[in-house]
Structures are given as C-alpha cells and as structure tokens.
Amino acid sequence: MFNQITEFSANHTLLVGGFVALLIAVFINEFKQAAKNFTSLTPAGAIQLINNDDAVLLDVREPTETVAGKIAKAIQIPVGSVSKRIGELDKHKDKNIIVYCKTGAQSGGACQQLNKAGFEKVYSLSGGITAWQEAHLPVSRK
C-alpha cells in the first residue's frame, strides 16, 4: 500500500502539493480560531444578548464613520484608542460586551485588547454595522 501512495505522489506532485497546502491552511485557520478568546455573533445573536442580558455595545469605528448611524446606546471608542481608553469600560466588566466596526474586520483586534484587560464576556458582531443594517435593524443618527 505504501508503494501505491508513493507512486501516486510521484505521478501527481501538483495534486499532492495542493492537498498538503490546503491541509496546512485548514490547521492554521483552526489554530487561530482556537486561540481567540471571543465569540463572533450574527446580528440576530446580538439582538438576543441585548434583549436578554442588557449587553453593552462598543462601536470601534472612527467618528467620521459613525455619521451614517450607529446602534442605539453604543459607546464609541475608535479601535486605535481602545487600549488607552479601556478604563472607560471598567464599570461594564461583568456585562456582555458586543464590539462592532463597519464590516467586522477591526472589531476582533478590539476584542483581543479587551480580553487582555480582563474582560471575559466579549463578542464581535460578524459583518459589523453593515450586517446589522442588511438585517434591517435600527440605527441611531444621534
């Protein structure tokens, strides 16, 4: 059987190489997912947390990005300022914190900073405010 595998590998090096690369990529992705200390939420999941647990919303977009609207009652701290302004969130350490940005790409970094500061119930809104609006959920322009 080992001879057959060796022969197949020798005859199909490109196919075997692609398989090995794909396998490595899957392991790397799984390792990254296991290493993060926060959970991603859909807009529907966020609504459940907000309604059942009085979660705190953290908008990590820049002030210029929030002109089009934000989720009502969200605290706005730009992602680049989270580590400096983390003290503003200390009173919410025991609550669920839902972090969101425009598309979900930057909220993960803010979630990791919150985890390092001792926040345990941290969630990232998948797709950010864009997914929220696509789900036809309300935004505040204040």
Q: Which residues are catalytic?
A: 101
Could you give the maximum distance between any two Cα atoms of the chain, in Å?
70
As a whole number of Å, the CA-based R_g of the chain is: 21
Neighbouring C-beta atoms of residue 16, cutoff 10 Å: 14
φ, ψ of residue 139 to 5 degrees: the values are -125, 150
Amino acid at site 47: I
In sequence order, which ranges of 2-142 are alpha helices (DSSP H)?
2-11, 13-35, 43-53, 107-116, 128-134
Element (H or E) spanning 56, and its range? strand 56-59
